[in-house]
Copies of this chain bind each other. A is one copy, B any other.
């Protein structure tokens, strides 16, 4: 593992095109040396942004040459003009790269309902193409940020039959985060020789287990998208889902999306800590997920965590209304390693010790529903004054 390593066969850049204030980076470009096998998943929000509609069409053939992402404007709720702007962006970039328009994936993030200043975006594409470099990842991670406080990039490697394979993931948070079969924005690149089908299977599996189990505020975005590109430049024969080396590579892709998910939850708007909610003892995984999301999205639980208060009654109330089957008389709850509820009732605990444990920057909440063997983990964060400030004062 190294932050300087990058998958072979890709170049990238982050530039400023004038969408964000103060000349900050706001346009990111990731380009493969040629059109390569790829997959993508998108938001299930019915009010999907124009670039989501366009990119859904463009990924249909399972090949991608370039992914362009602008921050500062979501190009959502922008009607026919929004679709034209997204298409114009793809066409301009395709012309400069000498590829088919179909091979360009377009993503946008930022304020909803404002026309995209498409001239700025197209000018930015020209600048980005000129700046393409094999060390552009840090700039990409910075350029796609909205209210994020730090860039999110993860690199992992593995050895497959003597060949070094690298997987890189770049993502953004940090508000309107409750992915639903897709994710916030993420671009994952690898030089493994995955087929399009293997890309699709690996991406959907990884999203389902990681990005789709993150919630900052319960609000699924209009612009969620995750893209996986596989250059094959690490060498070797094509790897499809049935290949002996597939599981190891898919596992590393999931490690990358898992680590990005933790970063996104930790950097949730206004968050002071990462909260890991794990539900065990559920009848099935769906119940475990329901209960974990109910706790992770409960305002009462999130504010108690901000106040470092092991207020387990609020956790009990949340799982009770979650729709998950449970046995109230078997319910058990542990906060940051301290058992606070057993057999559905209070366990005496040291308030001072609990206060110290809850003040850490990562807190586990474990809930046993007492009726089965299934489990699920959902990542979230606490709810602070700063969350209200960010979202009460800023039109994002």
Residues of B within 8 A of A387 (CB): 299, 303, 388
**Segment 248-279 of A: residues with Cβ below 8 Å from B:** none
Complex: A287 Cα to B209 Cα, angstroms: 29
- A313 & B219 in contact (Cβ 8 Å cutoff): no
Q: List residues of A whose CB falls within 8 A of some B CB.
A: 44-48, 74, 76-79, 82, 111-115, 175-176, 178, 180, 217-222, 297-300, 303-304, 306-307, 309, 311-314, 316-321, 325-326, 328-329, 331, 341, 343-346, 383-385, 387-393, 395
Contacts A78-B345, A345-B78: A313 and B391 contacting too (C-beta < 8 A)? no
A82 to chain B, nearest CB (A): 8
Beyond A77-B316, A178-B321, 13 extra complex contacts between A and B, CB < 8 Å: A44-B321, A46-B328, A47-B321, A77-B313, A78-B345, A79-B329, A79-B344, A113-B312, A113-B346, A115-B346, A303-B387, A303-B388, A387-B388
Query: Could you jot down 13 A-B contacts, CB within 8 Å?
Result: A46-B328, A47-B328, A77-B313, A77-B345, A78-B345, A79-B329, A79-B345, A112-B314, A113-B313, A176-B317, A218-B299, A306-B392, A387-B388
Complex: A130 Cα to B111 Cα, angstroms: 62
Complex: A298 Cα to B215 Cα, angstroms: 13
- A47 & B320 in contact (Cβ 8 Å cutoff): yes
Contacts A77-B341, A300-B391: A180 and B321 contacting too (C-beta < 8 A)? yes
Chain A contact residues: over half helix, strand or loop, or mixed?
Answer: loop
Complex: A368 Cα to B351 Cα, angstroms: 50
Contacts A180-B321, A217-B300, A297-B218: A74 and B391 contacting too (C-beta < 8 A)? no
Residues of B within 8 A of A306 (CB): 388, 392
- A299 & B46 in contact (Cβ 8 Å cutoff): no
- B74 & A313 in contact (Cβ 8 Å cutoff): yes
- B316 & A76 in contact (Cβ 8 Å cutoff): yes
Q: 7 smallest A-B Cβ distances: which pairs? A: A112-B313, A47-B320, A307-B392, A303-B391, A220-B321, A45-B320, A113-B313
Residues of B within 8 A of A388 (CB): 303, 306, 383-385, 387-388
A314 to chain B, nearest CB (A): 7
**Contact among B74, B219, B317 with A112 in the assembled complex (CB-CB below 8 Å):** B317
Residues of B within 8 A of A220 (CB): 317, 320-321
Residues of B within 8 A of A316 (CB): 47, 76-77, 112-113, 222
Residues of B within 8 A of A74 (CB): 313
- B47 & A111 in contact (Cβ 8 Å cutoff): no
The interface centre, meaning the residue of A111, A299, A307, A325 with most chain B CB atoms within 10 A of its CB, is A299
Residues of B within 8 A of A113 (CB): 312-313, 316, 341, 345-346
A282 to chain B, nearest CB (A): 13
Contacts A314-B112, A326-B46, A328-B47: A321 and B219 contacting too (C-beta < 8 A)? yes
Complex: A345 Cα to B85 Cα, angstroms: 14
Residues of B within 8 A of A391 (CB): 299-300, 303-304, 307
Residues of B within 8 A of A395 (CB): 304, 309, 311
Q: Which residue of B lies closest to A313 (CB)?
A: B112
Complex: A385 Cα to B387 Cα, angstroms: 9
